[in-house]
Amino acid sequence: MTDTFVVSEETLWDALHDVPDPELPHISLIDLGVILRVELDTQAAFARVLLMPTFLGCPALEMMRDMIRERLEQFDITVQVDVTDEQIWTSDRISEEGRRKLEEAGIAPPAPNNQNNTIMLLEPAPCPHCGSRKTSLESAFGPTLCRAIAHCRDCKQPFEQFKPL
């Protein structure tokens, strides 16, 4: 029996660009940086995807698992998605393209991650509507766990901000 199996790891990574973040559909799971690794066994037609959780209470995690599996099973392979703690996800993993897409959607991308968790000085995010830096954080909690609500004192508009984590 000859092995005619042709899917490559690169193809799988490409395909994951089609899988949106269920709570932020403007960006893909690749943009979000939650895929740690794709391990492909061509002999066994099996792929294992290592997924990093973002906020620990995020209900989108299970949906992400299902969506990854469904997308990659289109290549006629068996897919297993494992949530990993091998490396901790941080908002610094969001790609440049992801940051641009967030901004286009009116959500301020996260400021660089403040590694000192005891300091509560969160840098004011530039307003995604007018670019002003005269903004303030209104509430640390927004429509999803990863978003906060800010207000722009120049254009007087509220906006959402991806929380640095």
Partner 1 sequence: MNTAVEPVTNLTPVQKQALCELLLALADDEFVMGYANSEWTGIAPILEEDIAFSSLAQDEIGHSRVFYEMLATLEEQSADSIAYGREPSGFRNAQLVERGRGDWAYSVTRQFFYDTADFVRIESLQKSTYQPLAKAAAGIIREEKYHLLHANTWLQRLAEGNAEAQQRQHTAFDALWPDALGLFEPTSGATELLATGILPEPFEALQNRWITRIEEPLRRLSLPFPFIDASERWDTHITPIYGGRRGEHTQSFLDLYSVFTSVYQLDPEADW
The whole-angstrom separation of Cα 126 and Cα 109 is 9
156: tokens are 């007087």
Identify which of residues 5 and 55 has a Cβ nearer to partner 1 in the complex: 55
Identify which of residues 11 and 113 has a Cβ nearer to partner 1 in the complex: 113
Q: Which of 13, 138, 155, 157 binds partner 1 (CB under 8 A)?
A: 138
Within positions 6 to 65, which residues make up the interface with partner 1, using CB under 8 A? 53, 55-59
HEC letters along 56-104: CCCCHHHHHHHHHHHHHHHHCCEEEEEECCCCCCCHHHCCHHHHHHHHH
Find the part of the chain contacting partner 1 (CB under 8 A) among 20-28, 69-77, 101-109, 113-121: 113-121
Give min distance, CB of 92 to partner 1, in A: 12
The whole-angstrom separation of Cα 97 and Cα 27 is 9
Give min distance, CB of 88 to partner 1, in A: 5
Q: Is 93 in the site for partner 1 (CB under 8 A)?
A: no
Question: How does strand 158-162 pair with strand 107-108?
Answer: parallel
Q: Which of 149, 151, 155, 157 binds partner 1 (CB under 8 A)?
A: 149
